[in-house]
Each structure stands twice: as structure tokens, then as C-alpha cells.
Amino acid sequence: MLREGVGENPVRAIHHINSGEELRAAFAELRRRDKADRTPGSNPHIAGYATTRLTFTHDEEGNEVAPLRSRMMVEEDVPGSTIRAFVVGGELVAAVELDETQATGVKDRTNDLPTELTQVLVRAAEAIPGLACATVDAIHRRDADSTQVQDFVVIGISERPRIETYLTASTDLDDVLGDALLGFQALEAGLSLGPVVDTIARPLEIEGLRHADKVADELPQVAKAHGITLEVHRADSVAGDIDAWASGAPAAIAALVELLMAGYLVDDKAAAVNFSKEAPSD
């Protein structure tokens, strides 16, 4: 198996490599770069601030590719089922079994992992100093005849939660992971969380739009269809920015922001959306 050695986006991997020719082809495929990924918000799997670090050069055919110094890893492709666990604050809070592509969760395994395996997954996350949370992948060997800890192999640790792979196994894990992250951050900051609220009202600063005036006209109606009241206070077509105020359910506003940055809400993409705690102006 060949996988990317660095990068904060979910690491790509090519499995079932059985010859030198297949390995060279795998290297060529993983080196390819997509120009669109350097536009913040264009790829939901790459954080906006990371896109400036996607360095590239050109191959003989003019394709954009990663520099030859880019690190990749050749690993044993261990056959078996993959367990993905989310660890935060020294505690395993969720675990799922992935499908064969290792990209989609198919079964919630949070409450049926062996105790020793849970301890190993937590220690794996803690092996990286200063890591607040981690997703840890382990494979249960296909030839194993038990579920003892020695029958599992830890194959990867990521600082990105990859929450979408947990939700396909159980939508109940959405709140589990969110509560764990929020509780840990509040504890680290010495904050006491208040009661859960059903509605919030916040100013929004939307940046990096290609057609700010058009989005300013469309966004209030789109937001209304999702149960959100949104008022545009200013639209700057030159800078591509919009100042607005939104009120509604926290989950709905969060979804609106994510869809706006992914380009699925209107025919444009925001590079960033900033929230403010300031009270809305009259």
C-alpha cells in the first residue's frame, strides 16, 4: 500500500499493489495536484489555511505534481476490517467499523471494543504530544481467530476528526463527538458551559466571494428556506465581502456556513465566514 506521508487533508492511499510497475503508477497518481484545491473552500477535505502549502511543480506532460521531495509511505497492506476511533482528552468517545474503502463507517462499535484495544487506541493518540483530539485507525487481521488486542494493528493517526465517516455508521454519534470536543475545549479554557439554547443571533462576516452583490440578493431567501432569518447590512463587490446578521437554530446556521463555503448553497463559494459575539445593530 502507498499513502501520502504528510498533509492535513485525509491521507489518500492506494491499496493492493503487487509489482514494481503498479508501485510506480501509484506514485504517479498520488503526486498529481488539482489546481482547484488551492482555492480556499473548494475542497471540503482541505482546510482553507492549508491550501497555500500545496506546493507543486510540472512533469514532462505539463501536469501539476507534487515535488519529488514530497514524502510518501510504502506499508504492508494488512487484510482485515478497519476500526476507526475518536479520542479526545484521553478518552475514546466513539468507534466505528469502516467499509472496504476505509472511507465510510458502516457499524457503531463504540460499546463493544475489547478494553485492552480501547487502551491501545488511546495511548496511540497520546503518543503525539499536544494533540487535543485524534482519529485512530486499527485493522482487525482477517486471519485472526479472536478479538484479542494482539489481533489488531494500528495503521494511522490523524489530527482531523473526519466526523463524516462516523455519521454514516450512526447519526447519533454527531452529538457525541460534538459534545466531547466542546466539553474538552471548555475545560482547557477554564470555561463553564451555559445551558443549551434553541436559537442564536450573530453578525456574520462573509469573505472571498466572486459575486458578492448577487449572493447578497439570494442569500436571505435561501436562508429563509432553511428556517434562518438573515439580513444583509453591506455587500462589497470589489472586496467580495458581505456583512450580515443571522438568527435561527445553531445547527441550521452552522450548516448554512458549511454549505456556503463548500459552494453548495448558492452559485458562489465563500473563502471564510466569521462569527461575532457582538449584539446585532438596529
Q: What is the DSSP string of 97-139?
A: EE-TTSSSEEEE-TTSS-HHHHHHHHHHHHTSTT-SEEEEEEE
Task: Identify the pLDDT of residue 217.
Answer: 95
**Pair (184, 88) in one structural domain:** yes
- Strand ranges across the sheet with 241-248: 229-236, 241-248, 200-207, 272-275
Within a domain: 195: no
**Pair (39, 99) in one structural domain:** no
Number of domains in the chain: 3
Q: Please give the average pLDDT of every successive group of 10 residues along the chain, which has 282 residues.
A: 66 83 90 70 54 69 81 83 92 92 85 91 91 89 72 85 86 89 91 88 93 94 94 94 94 89 87 74 48
Cβ-contact 4, 11 below 8 angstroms? yes
Task: Identify the pLDDT of residue 147.
Answer: 67
Task: Identify the pLDDT of residue 124.
Answer: 94
Q: Which of 17, 41, 74 is the last residue of a domain?
A: 74
Q: Which three cell numbers stand for residue 201?
A: 443571533
**Pair (229, 168) in one structural domain:** no
**Pair (181, 93) in one structural domain:** yes
**Pair (47, 86) in one structural domain:** no
Task: Identify the pLDDT of residue 44.
Answer: 57
CATH number of the domain residue 230 falls in? 3.30.70
Domain that holds residue 150: 80-189
Please give the single-letter amino acid code of residue 158: S
Three-class SS of residue 3? strand
**Pair (94, 164) in one structural domain:** yes
The kind and range of the H/E element at 16 are: none
Q: Is 100 exposed, middle or buried (0-12, 13-18, 19+ CB in 10 A)?
A: exposed
Q: Which of 163, 189, 215 is the last residue of a domain?
A: 189
**Pair (180, 205) in one structural domain:** no
Q: What pairs with residue 136 in β-bridges? A: 85, 157
CATH number of the domain residue 136 falls in? 3.30.470.20
Q: Which three cell numbers stand for residue 210?
A: 466572486
Tell me the whole-structure pTM to 2 decimals. Answer: 0.66
Q: What is the DSSP string of 158-169?
A: ESS--HHHHHTT
Q: What pairs with residue 104 in β-bridges? A: none
- Give the start-end residues of each E strand in 220-276: 229-236, 241-248, 272-275
Cβ-contact 267, 234 below 8 angstroms? no
**Pair (132, 218) in one structural domain:** no
Task: Identify the pLDDT of residue 49.
Answer: 46
Nearest residue to 206 (alpha-carbon basis) of 164, 249, 250, 263: 263
The kind and range of the H/E element at 94 are: strand 91-98
**Pair (37, 105) in one structural domain:** no
**Pair (180, 232) in one structural domain:** no
- How many whole angstroms separate alpha carbon 36 and alpha carbon 24? 25
Q: Which of 158, 189, 220 is the last residue of a domain?
A: 189
Task: Identify the pLDDT of residue 215.
Answer: 95
Task: Identify the pLDDT of residue 39.
Answer: 61
- How many whole angstroms separate alpha carbon 3 and alpha carbon 156? 11
